[in-house]
Structure 1
């Protein structure tokens, strides 16, 4: 599965508007269609965080005919039929890169193709709660990543 963004090139710096230093809006994210996928899920995280992997965004129950989320995806628990979880900032929806000053951090946008139309979960759950179900239903996955440094 190919994952990409029109907002930044893989491995390049993520523009400030998508971070806590800017507008803190989500970037565009897109993926290639996976045969037999019934839905998709996204987890964005920072494995370089000093406290361990930090989760910035959890999206699930994305219908199989949706192959992108446009820039500035609403920070609501439910958008149409799409659910969002609680990030490690304790908020629903996207929370942009906000690393401590120093070395650049990597931000991974992981997309999972799932064999179910819905995980059957309510919105607002933690990564651990959602990931438990994603892991049982993943048929393919891919990622892209960007960097950010303060």
Structure 2
């Protein structure tokens, strides 16, 4: 009986080891601009010196371990502490979609414009540009969530005039096509 039990335990250990070695690592999102859960530097906010109203410098973002079959990426940055017009909508700070599947990063300081050089599109409530964090100095720190989605399709969506309509259309078009996701959080409020 001991021999059978020992053989069974050895067999199960071998299966667990094989599964651990073949497991796909989780998709990740990262920036060197601030730690996950940390404070977003003023440079990347609306309060930055020289920032156009409602804008700021976008941080460099890197992602890894996109699943096999990824055809494009969508980046969604939003202020989860903001309630828009008494609804469940939060603030659209940045939405970039149709990022090519062979990309693993967005550089710091992406330019203004609805369509970027790589063919992807961007929008925010400020317009076709990154909208930096801008929570009031008198209030609490706001949580800004950066989400990267890996999709098994390229979306057939162009920007609408309204960022909220665009986000709704993009999120609906993504349904049943998300093959991976990662998130990264930064916190911010304007300096006193």
Q: Same fold (TM over 0.5)?
A: yes
Residue 176 of structure 2 corresponds to 136
By percentage of residues, which structure has more helix? 2
Q: Which of 22, 28, 48 is residue 60 of structure 2 equivalent to?
A: 28
By percentage of residues, which structure has more strand? 1
Q: Give the CA RMSD over aligned residues.
A: 1.4
Deviation for aligned residue 1:50: 4.3
Gaps of 5+ in 2: 1-26
Residue 105 of structure 2 corresponds to 68
Superposition pairs of residues 1-150 of structure 1, within 5 angstroms:
1-22=27-48, 23=51, 24-34=56-66, 35-51=68-84, 52-80=89-117, 81-85=119-123, 87-89=124-126, 91-100=127-136, 101-116=138-153, 118-124=154-160, 126-150=166-190
**How far apart, in 2, do the equivalents of 1:8 and 1:149 lie?**
14
State the number of aligned residues: 147
**How far apart, in 1, do the equivalents of 2:83 and 2:142 lie?**
10
With normalisation by structure 1, the TM-score equals: 0.91
Gaps of 5+ in 1: none
Deviation for aligned residue 1:65: 0.7
Deviation above 2 Å: which 4+ runs of structure 1? Answer: none
**Bigger relative contact order, structure 1 or 2 (CA pairs below 8 A, ≥6 apart):** 1
